[in-house]
Structures are given as structure tokens and as C-alpha cells.
Amino acid sequence: MGTKDYEEMEFAKLDISREERTGFPEVVFCQGKPDEYLVEIYNKLYERDGRVFGTRATKEQFTIMKKHIPQVEYNDISRIMKIMPEKPDFDKDNYIVVCTGGTADIPVAEEAAETAEYFGTRVERIYDVGVSGIHRILSKEEILRGANCLVAVAGMEGALASVVGGLVANPVIAVPTSVGYGASFGGMSALLTMINSCANGISVVNIDNGYGAGYMATQIDRLARKK
């Protein structure tokens, strides 16, 4: 590792050795970034790499960005704002699954799914299969068992990850969501459920962290794809 593998900006240090070190391009966490910083970062990355991918963007940020970079696209479910000229060419034999307990978990699931797709991973979506109607997830057993990695997204009591973990041989990444009310404590209840899961092969990322799950699922899928 060299001693200065980054580029100094006034308000940031761009980690230019990152893709070489990790195999993943830089991703922008848009939430809370001042508009002028965000535009400057998108411009710099677009210039250098020809593509940009940002999470947690607001509609307002998109409106401003579009004036500067007309090619930018925005998905208001996943809140992802990206410039992605070429669609990835997905591997036919490998895929991951992203599944949710309910309809309200879909935004987090889409953040995970789009992230994985941006990094080149094929994704199968299975939504609204929470444990209170267990026949729904069981009817998808085959597709679950074929995935290299499974991302289980759920709020409220978050039991989905345990059930999925008991059905498959490959790793499950559990994403607690802030969906719920009362004693769900903004997702802490689901996080604790998932951390205490009695099933094997489950690990957990932060509440609503679809991006983190999509990233790690890609790492795992890539290991399976490498031959």
C-alpha cells in the first residue's frame, strides 16, 4: 500500500486506490451532502469513470443534478440516483435472491437489488413473503435454494431471515428495516431478532442498509462465479 493513494479535495479525500484494492468502484452516500458538493463529486466521478452510483438521494437532489448532468436517472422507490450508460451482462448460472417480509420493506430491498445489479450481479426478487403466511415463502423454495446468497429484508419482528436460513445451504444476509411502530424502535426490534437467530448462516447489517447487503451479496456471488 502506498502512503498517499487518494486525491485531496477541499471537503473530501477521494479514495482513488479503492477499486484496485477492493474491486468495487466508489459509491456516493447522498443523504445530507450539500448540493454543491454532491454535484462536484458526481461530475468528478462521471468524468473519471463514465458512470456514477449514489444511494439515499432525494427528489430535490435529483432535480438539481439533472440540470448539471442530464443523463442522470432516479428511482423514487429505491432512492438511487445513477448514471449507468451500459447495462451489465449478467451471468446466467449465478444469481442472488432479495426477499422481503412485506410490501413496506420494498424500498430497502430495491436499494439492495439495484446495488447488486450495478456491481454486475443477477438478482431474483421475492417480495411480501413474511412468516405470518408461511406458505408463500415455502412455494419459492427451489428458487431460494439455487441462489449463491440471499438477502432477507424485514421490519417489525424480522423473523423472515430465520425461516429462510433454515431452508437453504448458502449464506443469508439479514437487513432489518425501520418498518413498524410502537415497540419496533425504528428497526431495533428486527435487528435484535436477526442477531439472535437460531438458524445458521445468517449475519446482519445495519437497519435499512440495503446498500451494504447488496454489496456483500455481490462479494459472495463473485467468489462463486470465479473459476
Write out the binding residues for a copy of itself, residues 40-69 only, by CB under 8 A: none
Q: Report how far residue 67's alpha carbon sits from residue 226's, in angstroms, rounded to the nearest whole number.
A: 41
Strand partners, 111: none
- The distance of closest approach from Cβ of residue 120 to a copy of itself in the complex, given in angstroms and rounded to an integer, is 14
Write the CA distances from 21 to 18, 105, 134, 202, 223, integer angstroms. 5, 33, 42, 26, 16
- The distance of closest approach from Cβ of residue 111 to a copy of itself in the complex, given in angstroms and rounded to an integer, is 12
Contact of 211 with 115, CB cutoff 8 Å: yes
Contact code string over 163-192 relative to a copy of itself, x by CB under 8 A: x-xxxxxxx-x--x-xxxxxxxxxxxxxxx
Q: Which residues 6+ apart lie within 8 Å of 21 measured at CB? A: 1
Contact code string over 94-123 relative to a copy of itself, x by CB under 8 A: -------xxxx-x-----------------
CA 221 to chain centre: 14
Q: Does residue 202 interact with a copy of itself by CB under 8 A?
A: yes
CB of 113 or CB of 202, closer to a copy of itself? 202
Q: Does residue 193 interact with a copy of itself by CB under 8 A?
A: yes
Q: Does residue 159 interact with a copy of itself by CB under 8 A?
A: yes
